[in-house]
Structure 1
Amino acid sequence: MPLPVLLISIVLFFVLFFGIGFLLNMLFRSSWVMVILFPIVAILIVNQSKLIEYVRQPIESLKQLGLNFAALHMADIIILSSGLLGGICAGITIKLLRKKGYQMF
């Protein structure tokens, strides 16, 4: 993966998950919604089989999911980690704003 694409992807995932996490934290009046939902989102990004396959053939689907996670390249791991970091920063920002007296919704 070229370096400019990697850098743009890192910033994009950080901003995307920060924004979504910030909005979800405001709506649900919680601070860590996106951090809790991030593993589900990461599984949906890495997943290649349909969700119904987890009901029909759970063992095979979970094995395939494990192989997909093991086959991730370092660039993919860095990009997904930047998304998690964006969710964590959204939680910290919401906590700081609430501590300073700002009430969101």
Structure 2
Amino acid sequence: MISLPQVIISMALFFVLFFGIGFILNMLLKSTWIMSVFYPFVIFAIVDKISTFTYFSNPSLAFSKLITGLTNIHTADILMLGSGWIGAIVAGFVIRNLRRSGYSMF
């Protein structure tokens, strides 16, 4: 069982990590919401615990493992992954506001 301080620290780390990744991807690819759109695929990769190649070689097994993984996640995992998604969304808003303010960023 994970303790409350670990959950809070993990939430902050996921927020900062995916804010940073989202900010850099949005800046380099000149897209505002790229990480917010792809973040569910990151969640799927974390939850399913199988190779991405399995989705192409054995899709029925892969999707059944994904559904099983999604239904078996705990509240702490939902909070951590949710804070990462919020970080990715905030990165999109920050990039959008910076571009409106005149910063071109690559």
TM-score relative to the length of structure 2: 0.94
1:53 is the counterpart of 2:48: no
Question: 2:96 maps to what in 1?
Answer: 95
Structure 1 residue 35, shift from structure 2 partner? 0.5
Q: What 5-or-longer segments of structure 2 have no aligned partner?
A: none
Structure 1 residue 57, shift from structure 2 partner? 2.0
In structure 2, C-alpha distance between the alignment counterparts of 1:59 and 1:45, rounded to whole Å: 18
Q: How does 1:1-105 map to 2 (within 5 A)?
A: 1-105=2-106
Question: How many correspondences in the alignment?
Answer: 105
What percent identity do the matched residue pairs reach?
A: 45
Deviations 1:70-97 (A, max 9, x none): 0000110110000000000000000111
TM-score relative to the length of structure 1: 0.95
Q: RMSD of aligned C-alpha atoms?
A: 0.9
Q: What 5-or-longer segments of structure 1 have no aligned partner?
A: none
Structure 1 residue 36, shift from structure 2 partner? 1.1
Which 4+ runs in 1 deviate beyond 6 A?
Answer: none
